[in-house]
Chains A and B, each alone.
Chain A
């Protein structure tokens, strides 16, 4: 039906001048829980990227249009499925935007439970991301070990909510399920375990040569650019901007639970890795505090199905950045307008800036560094201005290119195992040791 992504559109293959006024960013590392493939076109000069042209919208599902014909509560489940990793925060943000239109208050216990689940989700997301950075850097051992530890937090979430990904815990003015009995000790013990593991991974990142070679001095951008381009989340914090919705505009129980916002002035991907691991430790402490100081009381206030007329917006801090929801009601059973803005959309212009000046081998690291919420890496198409060559690669090919570029000794055939160049990840696993 539409032009397949690996063929340039007719007007763009006209010449270089066409490229230099456009920026197209093919995006889309392979993320198992991410939903949107993106497509980028990169213009290169030899090894360096000169221009990037984005083309997104491959999994645009029309949720905002669909929300206008569904009742309020059903929309909560629909918006939860915007993203797999930040599903709870999406339903929380939508719920908060709608709750303000009613005149009911959220009970304090519900706010604490919401904070606990949101922080557990942040821990899960950061662990996933650290593992993926290891995978893209060619260090698959880190990937396997970190994802092993991720099971710890996913099991806790399953014990509380019933499901690992789509927690369905939120309701208007409350949560649907209470914390189970006798879970406090288990949660506190697991959080301590995860804190120790995060500290260990920080040591690994500081000393392991693979990670240092791939991530140091990559992905530098100035704080002024980041502020002008309105980046959010860790992408703003890693250049020193103290931008965190939990601190700036507290929601749920964040005004009572002690919070420590981490910023760093290093400004490269290596610092981003350590920043997310530090945030993980802070989140683990917050969960421990919230579980030990959980107030008593009701967990939910029943809200009628017709929401009064008005408009309200709400923003929350998802693992990737700031989520923003705007809701407009005309007093009916369905909303009049719902607008949802995901953090990756806000970070995309910054990603384009980050890519310029990087080498081809660094693309996967830089693109994964913004923690994008997309589906699979469709295709990336390249145009080299020096040699006038044009070619297309899949994500796996680009990843292999990056590993071979930095570690050429690995491209020799190791111990009789499969060569790199076979599209299987077994060979990379052996290389990771």
Chain B
């Protein structure tokens, strides 16, 4: 009893104090559009079907027309497993330390950074 009275309280004073997060904390997903090449491996491995590839037209490479695709993320379904991060060969994806993602508007959770030109 006395020990507990002399120790600091267990309850963290969040949200008035910032919480210390460990190094490996898995928060909201983020994409770097500059690095993404549209290889669609992330869409294939995602267990929660969060990533859909959007067609953005074609581009010419030599004398061939190649399709350009970029990922669209529906972060409401993301389970933060990190499969996409592990499998991206271009290190375009990252799990940040953001965890305060509650919103009243579901469309806020659709991340289209890589799709918007």
Q: Do chains A and B touch in the complex (CB under 8 A)?
A: yes
Q: Indicate whether B80 reaches chain A with its CB closer than 8 angstroms.
A: yes
Question: For A16, what are the chain B residues with a Cβ–Cβ distance below 8 Å?
Answer: none
User: Nearest Cβ in chain B — how far from A132, in angstroms?
Assistant: 18
CA distance A176 to B95 in the complex (A): 15
Among A166, A176, A180, which residue has its beta carbon within 8 angstroms of that of B23?
A: A180
CA distance A81 to B80 in the complex (A): 13
Contact B79 A180 (CB under 8 A): no
How many residues of chain B get a CB closer than 8 Å to chain A's CBs? Answer: 17
How many residues of chain A get a CB closer than 8 Å to chain B's CBs? Answer: 21
Which chain A residues (161-212) contact chain B, with CB distance < 8 Å? 161-163, 166, 168, 176-177, 180
Q: Indicate whether A151 reaches chain B with its CB closer than 8 angstroms.
A: yes
Among A73, A81, A159, A176, which residue has its beta carbon within 8 angstroms of that of B45?
A: A73
Contact B86 A159 (CB under 8 A): no
CA distance A151 to B11 in the complex (A): 11
User: Nearest Cβ in chain A — how far from B68, in angstroms?
Assistant: 26
In the complex, residue of chain B having the shortest beta-carbon distance to the beta carbon of A157:
B22
In the complex, residue of chain A having the shortest beta-carbon distance to the beta carbon of B27:
A162
Among A78, A151, A176, which residue has its beta carbon within 8 angstroms of that of B10?
A: A151
Question: For B26, what are the chain A residues with a Cβ–Cβ distance below 8 Å?
Answer: 162-163, 168
Q: Indicate whether A13 reaches chain B with its CB closer than 8 angstroms.
A: no
With A74-B47, A77-B47 known as contacts, the answer to whether A160 contacts B79 (CB < 8 A) is no
Contact B79 A77 (CB under 8 A): yes
Among B4, B10, B81, B95, which residue has its beta carbon within 8 angstroms of that of A77?
A: B81
Q: Indicate whether B59 reaches chain A with its CB closer than 8 angstroms.
A: no
Q: Indicate whether B33 reaches chain A with its CB closer than 8 angstroms.
A: no
Question: For B22, what are the chain A residues with a Cβ–Cβ distance below 8 Å?
Answer: 155, 158-159, 162
Question: For A166, what are the chain B residues with a Cβ–Cβ distance below 8 Å?
Answer: 79, 81
Question: For A151, what are the chain B residues with a Cβ–Cβ distance below 8 Å?
Answer: 10
In the complex, residue of chain A having the shortest beta-carbon distance to the beta carbon of B10:
A148
Q: Indicate whether A70 reaches chain B with its CB closer than 8 angstroms.
A: yes
Contact A160 B24 (CB under 8 A): yes
CA distance A160 to B24 in the complex (A): 7
User: Nearest Cβ in chain B — how far from A202, in angstroms?
Assistant: 18
CA distance A159 to B10 in the complex (A): 19
CA distance A70 to B25 in the complex (A): 27
With A73-B83, A78-B47, A176-B86 known as contacts, the answer to whether A162 contacts B25 (CB < 8 A) is yes
Question: For A160, what are the chain B residues with a Cβ–Cβ distance below 8 Å?
Answer: 24
Question: For B48, what are the chain A residues with a Cβ–Cβ distance below 8 Å?
Answer: 77
Q: Indicate whether B38 reaches chain A with its CB closer than 8 angstroms.
A: no
Contact A162 B79 (CB under 8 A): no
User: Nearest Cβ in chain A — how far from B52, in angstroms?
Assistant: 16
With A159-B22, A177-B24 known as contacts, the answer to whether A168 contacts B10 (CB < 8 A) is no
Question: For A145, what are the chain B residues with a Cβ–Cβ distance below 8 Å?
Answer: 4
CA distance A128 to B45 in the complex (A): 34
In the complex, residue of chain A having the shortest beta-carbon distance to the beta carbon of B80:
A163
Which chain B residues (89-111) contact chain A, with CB distance < 8 Å? 95
Question: For B83, what are the chain A residues with a Cβ–Cβ distance below 8 Å?
Answer: 73, 77
Could you show 19 A-B contacts with beta carbons less than 8 Å apart? A73-B47, A73-B83, A74-B45, A74-B47, A77-B48, A77-B81, A77-B83, A78-B47, A145-B4, A148-B10, A151-B10, A158-B25, A159-B23, A162-B25, A162-B26, A163-B25, A163-B80, A166-B79, A180-B23
User: Nearest Cβ in chain A — how far from B13, in angstroms?
Assistant: 15
CA distance A74 to B79 in the complex (A): 11
Contact B79 A159 (CB under 8 A): no
Which chain B residues (25-62) contact chain A, with CB distance < 8 Å? 25-26, 45, 47-48
Question: For A78, what are the chain B residues with a Cβ–Cβ distance below 8 Å?
Answer: 47
Which chain A residues (12-50) contact chain B, with CB distance < 8 Å? none
User: Nearest Cβ in chain B — how far from A88, in angstroms?
Assistant: 13
CA distance A155 to B22 in the complex (A): 8
User: Nearest Cβ in chain A — how far from B5, in angstroms?
Assistant: 13
Which chain B residues (5-21) contact chain A, with CB distance < 8 Å? 10
User: Nearest Cβ in chain B — how far from A187, in angstroms?
Assistant: 13
User: Nearest Cβ in chain B — how far from A105, in angstroms?
Assistant: 21
Name 11 extra pairs, CB < 8 A, besides A70-B47, A159-B24, A163-B25: A73-B45, A74-B45, A77-B81, A77-B83, A81-B79, A159-B22, A162-B22, A162-B25, A162-B26, A162-B95, A163-B26
The 5 closest A-B pairs by CB, nearest first: A74-B47, A162-B26, A162-B24, A77-B47, A159-B22
CA distance A212 to B111 in the complex (A): 56
User: Nearest Cβ in chain B — how far from A191, in angstroms?
Assistant: 18
User: Nearest Cβ in chain B — how far from A82, in angstroms?
Assistant: 14
Which chain A residues (93-121) contact chain B, with CB distance < 8 Å? none
Q: Mark A114-146, 1 if CB is under 8 A from B, else 0.
A: 000000000000000000000000000000010
CA distance A218 to B81 in the complex (A): 43
CA distance A151 to B22 in the complex (A): 14
Question: For B86, what are the chain A residues with a Cβ–Cβ distance below 8 Å?
Answer: 176
With A77-B47, A78-B47, A151-B10 known as contacts, the answer to whether A168 contacts B24 (CB < 8 A) is no
In the complex, residue of chain B having the shortest beta-carbon distance to the beta carbon of A168:
B81
